[in-house]
Amino acid sequence: MKINKENIESVNKKVAENHLNQFDFLANSLDQKNIDVDKLVSELSDFQVAIPSWALGAGGTRFGRFSFYGEPSSLEQKIEDVGVIHSLTQTAGAISLHIPWDVPEDYNAIKELAAENDLIFDAVNSNTFQDQKNAKESYKFGSLSNVNKPPREQAIAHNIEVVEIGKKLGSKSLTVWLADGSNFPGQNNFQTALKHTEDSLKEIYKNLPEDWKMFIEYKPYEPNFYSTVIQDWGTSFMLANACGEKAYTLVDLGHHLPNTNIEQIVSTLMLKGKLGGFHFNDSKYGDDDSTVGSVKPYSLFLIFNELVYGMRNNPQNPYPAWMIDASHNVKDPLEDLVQSLEAIQEAYAKALLVNQDELKQAQLNNDVVLAQELLQDAYRTDVRPLLAQARLARGGALNPIQAYRSLDVRRSLIEERGRHTVASGL
Ligand code: PSV
Ligand code: MN
Ligand code: MN
């Protein structure tokens, strides 16, 4: 299933007039505030978010999974699905692979297919949280942190192999998420587990190419329920510093205990030049992996406010790698990802509207009320016409969900792939 420019133009026609009216109205009101609308539109057009290869099928829980008709069952089909999302939204120009779920058979063919779909390969993700078929060692009691050397060595070798695979695809970063931890008090010696993890990460780091980055993800609990070795940003930051300048912390929005001030974490990491990557999702309770912006859109905006501030004021921090890390138990995965992308762009656009100079002045004057007014004025602006304009500028759909439905994409996918498909991966 491939969507071409003509398909998109034909659906855009139906909503073009309405869009133009809304865009003109918004552009005029932003003009009056001396906001450069063209610059805003081009900043939004440039903002690209990677789609993980494991998010294209229906997600599930430990209680079960309800599959979605027409899911992709090969890497090729996953790339095609991201291609569909990207052609509609023009904001998903990258795919992030999980190894060994998505090891390409024919690298050249896979690279060609990605290029045809206007996609690049973002971070490659290692997997030491599952035992692989025919693996000599088990990760039941940990991988990089395991008390025994053989499983640690196997996990290190796996990560090095993932880098090799990524090199062949043109990826430039490795993301390490560890499930390592303990389920019961007394099971692990915290210091030993952390020390092993640090030593193992340093081994992997030694094998990182010069122009690569290593992202270290943290998570407070799950799948282990008493302790996680890399439980929080501080631990990740410490490990990244111990490894070296190519190692960074990765913030996944779902990996915090309730009410954690994530925007402050973002700000601290950027000040220290150590925010490498970002996984978007939303949650009510924990690592729910819900659609971005579906539960706490204002928090997302506050996080973006810090990201924008950091991108403008912290040259010591590299441009972060953006990825969606969400799942969808009951929605069409492609529609869900489109909704997430829209929410990300919306929060970004609103953060770009914050008048940073006035905010700084309000802070200097301790004018708390004005500071809040400035943030909320930006947040309350309906920026959707800006997003649509940014998509239009790159040949995308004015309304991607409506386009997806009127082009009957899911029906075509089912016709191509059948009703009873099994997505590989999670
Ligand atoms: C598990 O919590 C997780 O969602 C992490 O966020 C990783 O990024 C992802 O799985 C893939 O390994
Ligand atoms: Mn993640
Ligand atoms: Mn997660």
Global confidence as pTM = 0.97
Tokens for 45?
A: 């057009």
Q: What is the ipTM of this complex?
A: 0.98
**Inter-CA distances, 426 with 53, 130, 246, Å:** 10, 11, 29
How does pLDDT run across 65-84, given as a tens digit for each residue? 888 899 999 999 999 999 99
Strand partners, 277: 250, 321
Q: Does the C-beta of 177 come closer than 6 Å to ligand 1?
A: yes
Q: In which element (H, E) is residue 227 found?
A: strand 227-228
| Ligand 1 center from residue 127 Cα (angstroms) | 9
If one residue of 159, 177, 230 were mutated to test the ligand 1 pocket, choosing by the most ligand atoms within 8 A of its CB, it would be 177
Q: Whose CA is nearest to atom 12 of ligand 1?
A: 177
| Residue 53 per-residue DSSP state | G
Are the beta carbons of 334 and 56 closer than 8 angstroms? yes
| Residues with C-beta atoms within 5 A of ion ligand 3 | 287
What are all long-range contacts of 185-191, with beta carbons under 8 Å and residues at least 24 apart?
185/226, 187/226, 188/142, 188/145, 188/227, 190/227
Nearest to 168 by CA among 102, 111, 96, 123: 111
Are the beta carbons of 343 and 401 closer than 8 angstroms? no
Residue 252 CA: nearest ligand 1 atom is 6
Q: In which element (H, E) is residue 217 found?
A: strand 213-217
Q: Is the pLDDT of residue 426 over 60?
A: no
Q: Is the pLDDT of residue 423 over 70?
A: no
Tokens for 245?
A: 């300048």
State the average pLDDT over residues 217-242: 98
Q: How confident is the model at residue 176 (pLDDT cuts 50, 70, 90)?
A: very high
Q: Does the C-beta of 282 come closer than 6 Å to ligand 1?
A: no
Q: Is the pLDDT of residue 333 over 80?
A: yes
pLDDT at 268: 98
Are the beta carbons of 353 and 375 closer than 8 angstroms? no
What span, in angstroms and rounded, lies between the C-alpha atoms of 316 and 66?
45
| Ligand 1 center from residue 288 Cα (angstroms) | 11
| Ligand 2 center from residue 122 Cα (angstroms) | 14
CATH number, span 48-353: 3.20.20.150
How does pLDDT run across 42-69, given as a tens digit for each residue? 999 999 999 999 999 888 888 888 888 9
If one residue of 325, 328, 426 were mutated to test the ligand 1 pocket, choosing by the most ligand atoms within 8 A of its CB, it would be 325
Helices 75-89, 409-417: axis angle to 10 degrees equals 170
